[in-house]
Amino acid sequence: MILVTGGAGFIGSNFVLDWLARDSEAIVNLDLLTYAGNLHNLQALEGDSRHIFVRGDIGDADLVTRLLAQHQPRAVINFAAESHVDRSIHGPEEFIQTNIVGTFHLLESVRAYWNALPQAGQADFRFLHVSTDEVYGSLNKDEPAFKETHCYQPNSPYSASKAASDHLVRAYHHTYGLPVLTTNCSNNYGPYHFPEKLIPLVIHNALAGKTLPIYGDGQQIRDWLYVADHCSAIRRVLESGRLGETYNIGGWNEKANLEVVNTLCAMLDELQPRADGKSYAEQITFVKDRPGHDRRYAIDAGKIEKELGWKPAETFATGIRKTVRWYLDNQQWAQDVTSGAYRDWVQRQYVA
């Protein structure tokens, strides 16, 4: 049995689905179901006794303590986080509460549980904390990619809150001996991605005949990681990662935002052409850049490949095609998750 937090969100739900497709080991899935948490992501598991869903907050110490005592998991994997830079700029308090205070309470509950385990159980237990490359700050065009030893220089309330949570996890290992692992990933994409992030937003807006908003000049560079590859890397780190270590997980796919959008438009032109025969690229609109927008992220995933033998299975070309096909085949999913509140937020955020 393992306990997964945030398992109804984008990466978390992909991990849960992938885990149960490959393994008979059960999962307790704790998720608060905020706007980006969606039980529809987990519909395929309806009636599956290996999946135990609990709605709740990682900061609820009584609930987490009860779940740990009842299910006796051998590992806790922490996906739970507020995760969108733009939202953190408009409302940082939720990010502080969930990503810092929530992680602290989760660590305290897990530490108490771990301390009470027999010696063999303590040796086998793992706490895996899932984090982001954004904690490292921004790179200039010619600087080498982020390694695990790169200093933390977070530039947004979101990345600062994740940096703080990473430091807490590290401290609980070095101070209390808690057997932790940390992963810092690059930009994920793939199925079940809430349509506020670049790739699902562009697909959703393109099909709806809306503008495709691009911040600034569109030359912000990100490393793109297909979510199924991320899930396989987490499994590998959980299995064989060295205690107390951090592993950067990336796709070796640096792309400028504008290049990504043009790729999506060309693919949609091929797979679901506009009725008027024009290209979706005509819907591209450049909007005011967001405050403090990091120019470039790049992950050096050499450590996890050297130590654990992991490397991504998908190129950007193969992963993005799978992603576009999934959204074309699951347009009702996108319609269901884009509520009126979401539409109001997008309208406020992307101002020309």
Catalytic positions:
133-134, 158
d(CA 29, CA 211): 37
Instruction: Give the β-pairing of 221-226 and 187-189.
Output: parallel
The DSSP result for 206-231, as a single string, is: HHTT--EEEETTS--EEEEEEHHHHH
97-102 long-range Cβ contacts below 8 angstroms, 24+ apart:
97/59, 98/58, 98/59, 98/161, 99/158, 99/161, 99/162, 99/164, 99/165, 100/161, 100/164, 100/165, 100/168, 101/59, 102/57, 102/58, 102/59
Instruction: Give the β-pairing of 212-215 and 51-55.
Output: unpaired
d(CA 129, CA 327): 29
Number of Cβ atoms within 10 Å of the Cβ of 146? 24
CB–CB of 192/329 below 8 Å?
Answer: no
Tell me if residue 292 falls in helix, strand or coil: coil
